[in-house]
């Protein structure tokens, strides 16, 4: 068995070595996507186009407006004269955020301490709208705190004491809230999924398409040896890709790696086995490379979206949450982010590792059985 398997592996690695463009196509897209996600993918919004309608023209209103500009999150693009002009700015896309400071803003602030502020946000891009609204809340909260310190009589009646509660946020594991620390560990798993599934599925379908699959099957090689010969090179390529992207993420983008290499290696191994099994399973349903490409697109893209890479699984409908249970990327993202940023070990991550092992075993068994059935057909 070992001699036949060795011959099969030697054939596959020779084929990979001869196809130099294949190696370039495997490595270059991963590196490009790593830098695209590292620099372009971000939940931070800068220079949001903002129009301010200041009907008060007081020191307090000017102070508030200056805070918007000084934050770096907002860019003042217009100072409309009335509500109609502000509405027009938002409707035609000149401004994403409109701020209305009503007349008597400072007088109300100094009197009762309650000064309403109207903020209009263009919700066409809901993500930008929510983030911008959050920035507005932070700025207004800081302004209100400074106003309370400047006019303490606002919050204390004669002869009564003032009491307040201050909320201080302290993010753990990512104190600077750097978006790349969240995205790049996720990119490692996502790119490995797309690469390994495609490589495995196309490798077998290509043998079937050129007519060499039947020749191999009439040789002494068993279906299990054939599958091992096809999957081991894909595993090696996937492991090398994960290592490359992990090193680039740590060295170039400064993502801290505070966890354990054995935990990382175990999670990556189980994940690669699960993705290889998925690729094998897809290949058994394909007769041509075009069919393999269509199936790959049909499964890999939903797996990417439903993995928790960018969208929280808890916010998805219950039916889709149930579907994510068969998604190996879901579990590997938990493992890799926890290893990178939290430094946790097997005692915490064993449920994810066990799920990956179960998925790999079930899909490998299904792919072997399905492959045998497809040969008989």
Residue ranges covered by each domain of the chain? 2-41+177-376, 48-155
Residue 164 is predicted with a pLDDT of 46
Greatest Cα pair distance, the chain, in angstroms, is 98
Residue 157 is predicted with a pLDDT of 43
Residue 109 is predicted with a pLDDT of 79
Instruction: Encode 122-135: b = buried (16+ Cβ within 10 Å), e = exposed.
Output: beeeeebbebbeeb
Residue 215 is predicted with a pLDDT of 63
10-residue stretch averages of pLDDT, the chain, 377 residues long: 64 65 67 76 80 90 90 90 89 88 84 78 78 86 79 48 52 78 85 84 74 65 72 85 88 88 94 91 80 81 86 84 92 92 90 94 86 66
* CATH, range 48-155: 3.40.1710.10
What backbone torsions phi and psi does residue 185 show, to the nearest 5 degrees? -55, -35
Nearest-CA neighbor of 338 among 256, 270, 247?
A: 256
What backbone torsions phi and psi does residue 210 show, to the nearest 5 degrees? -85, -5
* Count of all residues that appear for the chain in the document: 377
Residue 194 is predicted with a pLDDT of 84
CB 239 within 8 A of CB 199: no
Distance between CA atoms of residues 179 and 325, nearest Å: 26
- Specify the DSSP class assigned to residue 38: H
Tokens of 301: 């893209």
Distance between CA atoms of residues 316 and 314, nearest Å: 6
Residue 214 is predicted with a pLDDT of 62
CB 64 within 8 A of CB 101: yes
- Specify the DSSP class assigned to residue 222: -
Query: Which residue do the tokens 């508030």 mark?
Result: 64
pTM of the model: 0.74
Nearest-CA neighbor of 193 among 289, 311, 279?
A: 279
């Amino acid at each position: 068995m070992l001699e036949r398997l060795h011959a099969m592996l030697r054939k596959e690695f020779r084929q990979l070595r001869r196809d130099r463009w294949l190696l370039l196509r495997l490595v270059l897209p991963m590196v490009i996507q790593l830098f695209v996600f590292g620099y372009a993918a971000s939940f931070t919004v800068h220079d949001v186009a903002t129009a301010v309608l200041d009907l008060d023209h007081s020191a307090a209103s000017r102070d508030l407006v200056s805070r918007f500009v000084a934050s770096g999150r907002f860019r003042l693009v217009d100072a409309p004269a009335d509500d109609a002009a502000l509405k027009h700015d938002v409707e035609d896309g000149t401004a994403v955020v409109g701020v209305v400071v009503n007349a008597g803003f400072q007088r109300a602030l100094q009197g009762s301490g309650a000064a309403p502020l109207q903020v209009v946000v263009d919700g066409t891009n809901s993500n930008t709208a929510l983030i911008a609204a959050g920035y507005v809340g932070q700025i207004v909260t800081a302004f209100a705190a400074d106003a309370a310190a400047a006019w303490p009589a606002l919050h204390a009646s004669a002869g009564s004491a003032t009491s307040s509660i201050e909320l201080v946020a302290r993010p753990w594991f990512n104190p600077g809230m750097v978006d790349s620390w969240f995205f790049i560990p996720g990119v490692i798993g996502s790119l490995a999924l797309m690469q390994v599934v495609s490589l495995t599925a196309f490798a077998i379908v290509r043998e079937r398409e050129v007519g060499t699959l039947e020749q191999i099957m009439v040789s002494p090689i068993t279906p299990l040896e054939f599958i091992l010969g096809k999957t081991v090179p894909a595993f090696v390529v996937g492991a090398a890709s994960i290592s490359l992207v992990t090193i680039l993420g740590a060295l170039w983008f400064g993502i801290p790696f505070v966890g354990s290499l054995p935990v990382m290696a175990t999670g990556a191994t189980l994940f690669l086995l699960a993705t290889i099994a998925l690729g094998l399973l897809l290949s058994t349903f394909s007769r041509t490379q075009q069919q393999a490409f269509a199936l790959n697109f049909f499964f890999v893209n939903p797996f990417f979206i439903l993995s928790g890479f960018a969208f929280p699984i808890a916010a998805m409908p219950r039916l889709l949450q149930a579907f994510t249970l068969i998604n190996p990327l879901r579990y590997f993202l938990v493992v890799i982010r926890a290893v990178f940023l939290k430094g946790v070990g097997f005692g915490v991550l064993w449920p994810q590792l066990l799920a990956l092992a179960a998925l790999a075993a079930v899909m490998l068994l299904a792919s072997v059985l399905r492959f045998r059935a497809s040969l008989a057909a």
